[in-house]
Structure 1
């Protein structure tokens, strides 16, 4: 049994769920947060995934799961989760994944995501900046003292190439650039305490939403939701972890460095900024 303890935010579905499952498969104790606690709630909302469903999958795995219904847009919820974890004595890894930024992409039958910034609905800013980015800051703020006390820890901000390149939505780019900068500045302040912070870029991930629209994607180099969790496990075991602190890292490139394959044995090809520039 791995004795490390992780917290994965936004784990009821998508990448967060995959990260949690990958860490549980490696024997980590994993705290997970999400707004959708039960499958009945997900069905009623017409969405896929709940913490209840994740619990059922986790029952087959060696790690221990701890479930927290939490809306990271509410500071009281975040504080409660941190207090519950603190009562257990330790936290080694925080994965800031919770992301409501893709909600309500269609309004009144129109796909509003690619509108220019002056036509973007203000609620999209609130979702990506006021909720997702602020939530990542607040949960990091709440749990960092545990890592500092232990003199070891890792904070991972799930980010993307939109931090560096235009990816069709200005608010999205601002949010991801801020996630990278947050990791870099956290790393600077945490370095004296031997705690690392990084931003981590997935590739095309076979989430529920992507699979529903698979005909629109080139899936040949896609990643399972568990893949990035496997990479985070490798990052945690890396004896040179602190040398990577403060950087924006590509999950597939780290997987090549660590010799990690996806769940189906495939080794995703790392993408670079040049790949996106050609699109």
Structure 2
């Protein structure tokens, strides 16, 4: 969708690597000027062993035909975040069309605590999962809304996870992701009268640097866990670019406000907007039988294309979900 966001200004937090980088590229190829944040301006390997930097992200955005502004920000420091938005206000005359709340600091802690019940894990896991994550999303949204509300337009997109509905990793992670969904909905209720959209977005299994590393470790360990086997098979993976292209399509939708307060599934929105992943692929939604059956029976992964792309109804998934309050 080249050019559909020409002249727009977007901010992607946590864009040194992974989904954040893919989102920045997707917005850039649609014509937006993309401001990206992270701790590493240049590739030095000190902030994350898998690498990644804002300079590399900007190079990828520009290679896709976009414009990129890197800003080093530590999202644990509210003063740095405030300075970021002051710079956006000054450089773009108060214009911000899209905020993507993506920054997340819990990946390493999640991997180190994998398989541990919450009472055996370090209590600091809560802050690792939800400090640079849920809290950062709220702080950035406050500042973004101050720019968007006077202009009566804008999109705040909070990257969340299926882990907000189903058990995934641990209690700290799941609670934080459920809270991200609720945050998006609560902000939507307050922003709707001002023409600003807030929604949450659930990617599928995204082949980021960390997920690829985890999949390789799983193959080497010979895990018999079905979910891990499905992950290691790389069946139905999404690239980070798909999330970016979907967000670009959302931002360009003249009727976007109707989606405010909802949780959007990346694969399903891709089908709705006619968006494809890298190399023209269109991964199935994680509630599609095409994704569900190979996860239950890993031997079916090589034959997934034969399985109908039929989606399990939401009412059934909500009944099966164990994270909602029960009364």
Q: TM-score range by the shorter chain?
A: over 0.9
List gaps (5 residues or longer) in structure 2.
219-231, 297-327
SS at match of 2:283: coil
Alignment of 1:16-35 (within 5 A): 16-35=20-39
Does residue 1:85 correspond to 2:88, yes or no?
A: yes
Q: Does 1:258 align with 2:273?
A: yes
Q: Does 1:126 align with 2:127?
A: yes
Contact 2:184 2:200 survives alignment (8 Å): yes
Contact 1:10 1:32 in 2 (8 A): yes
Counterpart for residue 270 of structure 1? 285
What CA distance in whole angstroms lies between the structure 1 residues aligned with 2:47 and 2:155?
A: 36
Q: Give the superposition deviation at 1:167.
A: 1.1
CA 1:82–1:276 in 2, change beyond 3 Å: closer, same or farther? Answer: farther
Deviation at 1:4, TM superposition (A): 1.1
Distance 1:257 1:59, change over 3 A: closer
Q: Secondary structure of the residue that 1:226 maps to in structure 2?
A: helix
TM-aligned CA distance change 1:253 to 1:206, over 3 Å: same
Distance 1:43 1:120, change over 3 A: closer
Aligned position for 1:137: 138
CA contact (8 A) 1:24 1:64 kept: yes
C-alpha distance after superposition, 1:107-128 (max 9, x if no partner): xxxx423311222212211122
Task: Give the gaps of 5 or more residues in structure 1.
Answer: none
Structure 1 SS opposite 2:100: strand
> CA contact under 8 A between 2:103 and 2:132: conserved in structure 1?
no
Q: What CA distance in whole angstroms lies between the structure 2 residues aligned with 1:276 and 1:101?
A: 26
Q: 1: CA distance between counterparts of 2:266 and 2:182?
A: 18
Deviation of 1:38 after TM superposition, in Å, equals: 1.1
1:1-279 maps to which residues of 2 (within 5 A)? 1=3, 2-40=6-44, 42=45, 46-87=49-90, 88-89=92-93, 90-105=95-110, 111-215=112-216, 216=218, 217-272=232-287
CA distance in 1 between counterparts of 2:292 and 2:165 reads: 10
Q: Post-superposition, which runs of at least 4 consecutive aligned residues in structure 1 deviate over 4 A? A: 273-279
When structure 1 is superposed on structure 2, of 266-275 and 155-164 the one drifting more is: 266-275
Aligned equivalents of 2:47 and 2:251: distance in 1? 38
Q: Is the 8 A contact 1:27 1:62 kept in 2?
A: yes
**How far did 1:273 drift?**
9.1
Shift of 1:76: 0.7
Deviations 1:230-277, CA, capped at 9 Å, x for gaps: 000111122221111101110100010111110110111112299679
Counterparts of 1:35 and 1:114, CA distance in 2: 29
Distance 1:143 1:155 in 2: 8
Residues 27 and 61 in structure 1, CA contact (< 8 A), matched pair in contact too: no
Are the equivalent residues in 1 in contact too, given 2:204–2:286 (CA < 8 A)?
yes
CA–CA separation in structure 2 for the residues paired with 1:35 and 1:182 = 25
Does the 8 A contact of 1:183 with 1:197 survive in 2? yes
Q: Aligned Cα RMSD in Å? A: 1.9
Segment drifting more, 261-270 vs 42-51 = 42-51
Residue 3 of structure 1, CA deviation: 1.1
Q: Which moved more, 1:117-126 or 1:189-198?
A: 117-126
Structure 1 residue 52: deviation in Å?
1.6
Give yes or no for contact 2:35–2:69 (8 Å, CA) kept in 1: yes
